[in-house]
């Protein structure tokens, strides 16, 4: 049985990946390490330890704590490290860049050093398409050879981490892969992100704040498709390579929100436009030809179906919504949009 060390496994993408792997494959044991910040929610994996008592363990640890990470790798005979742990919200990075450098850069170095010391089989860095910067409307999608031109403290911290991961491959021969994915959506996403925020506000007949004119374009991928791609790269990806993961679902923000309102049966009059955030990238688009050709992966859930599945999940899990919308979150949210 192979052991995976998953960092940030109580977050949105990490928790979805853990459920996917444990449900799919009896050959893997999961060690989940998470600092449990505001976006790391134990309710995301509430029954997993009961369902898989011999194949799942959780440790509340900061990835910057090298000694603890090293001990966990030794104690659990870890084969692979997959780093999901990250501060990930662009707005928060504008308000506090230092926090993002601490977790996303220094934390990655801590994990790499532990992985190198213990000679793990592979280290997989989960990154983002935002490291490439912004595209104009007519430019071709990002490929793996696209120059890194991050425009926010968040994306700059992720680009820095990617480069450090690559350096450990080149300098120390550490077996690594890096994946860069487009915008994820689906169950268990913290409601500061666009899709769950819009769903939550619409259900309460509150205003739906959209930056600028809503023309910014993103490529969207259902989180389960991302999980499948990550496992493919972990097991089959060529050592040292970077793989882009895209959803083939480019859409601007205003049209995305209108789709959600139609699914929810809510009026477009709820939409309100707010002052744009600084450095707001115009467009992201992913060319995933490499992973499709080399690893036979492609997205399977289109945007229409994925949004319906996502809305259905949030409607059926109102208690989860209530558990994550804390006083701290509401205070931050109100302050954030009142500033715009």
What the chain holds in terms of domains, given with CATH numbers, is: 2-189+220-249+279-301 (3.40.50.720)
Confidence of residue 327 (pLDDT cuts 50, 70, 90): very low
| H or E stretch at 305 | helix 303-316
| H or E stretch at 92 | helix 90-95
Which one from 129, 162, 219, 281 is the annotated catalytic residue?
Answer: 129
CB burial of 216-246 (b: ≥16 within 10 Å; e: otherwise) equals bbbbbbbbbbbbbbbbbbbeebeeebbbbbb
Is 131 in contact with 164 (CB distance < 8 Å)? no
The model's pTM is 0.93
- 38 belongs to the catalytic site: no
Task: Quote the CA–CA distance of 53 and 72 in Å, as a whole number.
Answer: 17
Helix (H, G, I), strand (E, B) or coil at 286: strand
Q: Provide the 8-state DSSP code for 77.
A: T
Which one from 56, 66, 123, 154 is the annotated catalytic residue?
Answer: 154
Q: With 50 as the cut, is the pLDDT of residue 227 above it?
A: yes
Residue-wise pLDDT tens digits, 116-165: 999 999 999 999 999 999 999 999 999 999 999 999 989 999 999 999 99
For helices 303-316 and 194-203, what crossing angle results, to 10°? 50
Residue-wise pLDDT tens digits, 21-49: 999 877 899 999 999 987 788 999 998 98
Backbone angles phi, psi at 31, to 5 degrees: -110, 115
Which one from 62, 91, 130, 250 is the annotated catalytic residue?
Answer: 130
- 154 belongs to the catalytic site: yes
- 334 belongs to the catalytic site: no
């Amino acid at each position: 049985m192979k052991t995976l060390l998953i960092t940030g496994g109580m977050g949105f993408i990490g928790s979805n990946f853990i459920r996917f792997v444990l449900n799919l494959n009896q050959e893997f044991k999961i060690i989940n390490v998470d600092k449990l910040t505001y976006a790391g929610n134990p309710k995301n994996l509430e029954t997993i330890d009961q369902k898989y008592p011999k194949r799942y363990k959780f440790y509340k640890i900061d990835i910057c704590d090298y000694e603890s990470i090293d001990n966990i790798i030794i104690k659990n005979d870890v084969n692979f490290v997959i780093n999901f742990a990250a501060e990930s919200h662009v707005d928060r990075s504008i308000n506090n860049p230092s926090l993002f450098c601490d977790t996303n850069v220094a934390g990655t170095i801590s994990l790499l050093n532990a992985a190198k010391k213990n000679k793990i089989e592979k280290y997989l860095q989960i990154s983002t398409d935002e490291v490439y910067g912004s595209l104009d409307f007519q430019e071709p999608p990002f490929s793996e050879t696209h120059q890194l031109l991050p425009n926010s403290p968040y994306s700059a911290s992720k680009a820095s981490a990617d480069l450090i991961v690559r350096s450990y491959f080149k300098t120390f021969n550490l077996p690594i892969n890096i994946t860069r994915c487009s915008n994820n959506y689906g169950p268990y996403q913290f409601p500061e992100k666009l899709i769950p925020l819009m769903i939550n506000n619409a259900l309460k007949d509150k205003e739906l704040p959209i930056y600028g004119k809503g023309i910014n374009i993103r490529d969207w991928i259902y989180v389960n498709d991302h999980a499948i791609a990550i496992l493919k790269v972990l097991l089959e990806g060529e050592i040292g390579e970077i793989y882009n993961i895209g959803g083939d679902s480019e859409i601007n923000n205003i049209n995305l929100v209108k789709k959600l309102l139609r699914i929810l049966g809510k009026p477009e009059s709820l939409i309100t436009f707010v002052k744009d955030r600084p450095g707001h990238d115009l467009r992201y688009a992913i060319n995933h030809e490499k992973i499709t050709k080399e690893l036979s992966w492609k997205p399977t859930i289109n945007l229409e179906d994925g949004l319906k599945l996502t809305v259905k999940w949030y409607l059926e899990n109102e208690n989860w919504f209530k558990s994550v919308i804390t006083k701290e979150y509401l205070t931050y949210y109100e302050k954030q949009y009142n500033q715009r």
